[in-house]
Structure 1
Amino acid sequence: MLPDAMTVNVAGKRFARLRGRVGLLFVGTLSVIAGMTDAIGFMVTGDFVSFMSGNTTRLAVSIDQSNAALALHISMLIAAFVIGNALGVMAARFSRRRAWPLLLAIGVLLCLCGVSGEGAAPFLLAVISMGMINAVVEEVNGLPIGLTYVTGALSRFGRGLGRWCLGERRNGWRVQLIPWAGMLGGAIVGGLLAQAFGIKAMVVSGLSTLILAAVSAAIPRSWQLRFMPR
């Protein structure tokens, strides 16, 4: 390999590592916000904001118990989350796959939820926002990332651990703990905020998202194109 080509190759690897570190820091921060929001919603209302596996189980139990009102309520939550994911992808596409416009919309929705007080309609805004947040980062350096569903992250980590025990040395499986740890830390903070401020704590999640929107504007667009869904 020619010296110039070797220099370009080394620089490219360093560039990719830096992009990966920024992406994982971005993912960790988003996971903290998601965990905070989910904990606030759960402690105030008893409903999951982003944990749709839990809501699906609750839906099945409510159907088994012939509780039509609860089944309808949980169905609305699941539908709002799905709609939020769809809106997130659409917003990402219309913003030419820039993160800050999407984060701005999410932050506004969370703030509206917090200032509107308790009730089904304001809470749906938080659920929609958590659906939308999944469109902010989909992968980092080719590694799939989940923000609001850490079951997948733990599963990928566990499978990677199994391969490592078998002697395989694949890269990337350890980073799956980042969204899980972020979700856990955020949920702890969110629980404390919910005890102190109730549903108004959603404003903290919203303001945190707005701050992240401003920070994300500094991330090179070429990097964001690799993070966001196509």
Structure 2
Amino acid sequence: MNSIDRSRRRLAIAAAGLAGFVDAVGFLSAKGYFVSFMSGNTTRLGVDLAVAPHRAIVPAGLIAGFLLGVFAGALLAIRFETRRKVAVLALVTILLIGAALAHAAGATTAMPGFLVLAMGALNNTFQRDGEVTVGLTYMTGALVRFAQGLAARIAGSGGEGWVNWLLLWLGLALGALAGAYALLSAPGIALWLACLWSLTLVWAARGITESTRNT
């Protein structure tokens, strides 16, 4: 977070918010499984294999779908290197539209499939040299860096920028709150709100890309 400029940090926080929103919708819809948090699904996979092996296909399928989404997003990022953020977020938007259509059609299996693909792809938004620089769907690292930075700041040995990691986590947390509230209060439009959110991110990413080209 500290290696990118302010406009990109804002985009990262907003994208983390989208991830939280979508994961909350997926979590409530998939009976306790995740569409963006694969550590949680890995734990569920281990527990299901030990307790009820026939249920393990659910977390295993979600993990596989997430990997496929990351793979597809990475290929797209390589293909459109100079417009990577726009291309990746456009793919995320298309997949979220697929999820919203599946939900409207009552396709309860297809919907989380589209969601997990979208969340996997989203992690390709911020890259450098083929490596993810800002994880958008998992926050353990962000919380560690926040706590380490705060400790360094208090100790007087650096730690500048610790607040950026806190804001990234808050983006995910508040997005999850919004997603849960949206699904519980207006289930018919919750995923369409996610689509609109994602489309707004595409527009913002396009503005960042164009401003970079003109400087």
TM-score by structure 1 length? 0.81
Partner of 2:71: 86
Which secondary structure state, in structure 2, belongs to the residue aligned with residue 135 of structure 1?
coil
1:56 matches 2:45: no
Percent identical among aligned pairs is 32
Tell me the amino acid that sits aligned with residue 214 of structure 1. Answer: W
Determine the C-alpha separation between the residues in 2 that align with 1:178 and 1:223. Answer: 24
Determine the C-alpha separation between the residues in 2 that align with 1:185 and 1:101. Answer: 26
User: Following superposition of structure 1 onto structure 2, how do residues 58-137 of structure 1 map, counting pairs within 5 Å?
Assistant: 58-65=44-51, 67-98=52-83, 99-117=85-103, 118-137=107-126
Partner of 1:194: 183
The answer to which of 82-91 and 28-37 deviates more is 82-91
Give the superposition deviation at 1:221: 5.6
Q: 1:119 to 1:199 in 2, by over 3 A?
A: farther
Give the superposition deviation at 1:45: 1.8
1:207 matches 2:196: yes
Tell me the amino acid that sits aligned with residue 129 of structure 1. Answer: A
User: Following superposition of structure 1 onto structure 2, how do residues 29-48 of structure 1 map, counting pairs within 5 Å?
Assistant: 29-46=14-31, 47-48=33-34
Give the superposition deviation at 1:222: 8.2
Which secondary structure state, in structure 1, belongs to the residue aligned with residue 208 of structure 2?
coil
Give the superposition deviation at 1:175: 1.0
Determine the C-alpha separation between the residues in 2 that align with 1:22 and 1:64. Answer: 46
Determine the C-alpha separation between the residues in 1 that align with 2:188 and 2:79. Answer: 31
Q: Which has the larger radius of gyration?
A: 1
Q: Unpaired segments of 5 or more residues in structure 1?
A: 1-16, 225-230
- Does the aligned pair in 2 maintain the 1:138–1:146 contact within 8 Å? no
- Does the aligned pair in 2 maintain the 1:80–1:127 contact within 8 Å? yes
Match of 1:185 among 165, 168, 174: 174
Determine the C-alpha separation between the residues in 2 that align with 1:170 and 1:159. Answer: 7
Tell me the amino acid that sits aligned with residue 59 of structure 1. Answer: L
Which secondary structure state, in structure 2, belongs to the residue aligned with residue 146 of structure 1?
coil
- Does the aligned pair in 2 maintain the 1:110–1:129 contact within 8 Å? yes
- Across the aligned residues of Structure 1 and Structure 2, the Cα RMSD in angstroms comes to 2.2
The 4+ residue runs of structure 1 with deviation greater than 4 A are 221-224
Q: 1:103 to 1:87 in 2, by over 3 A?
A: same
- Does the aligned pair in 1 maintain the 2:13–2:168 contact within 8 Å? yes
Give the superposition deviation at 1:161: 2.1
- Does the aligned pair in 1 maintain the 2:21–2:175 contact within 8 Å? yes
Q: Unpaired segments of 5 or more residues in structure 2?
A: none
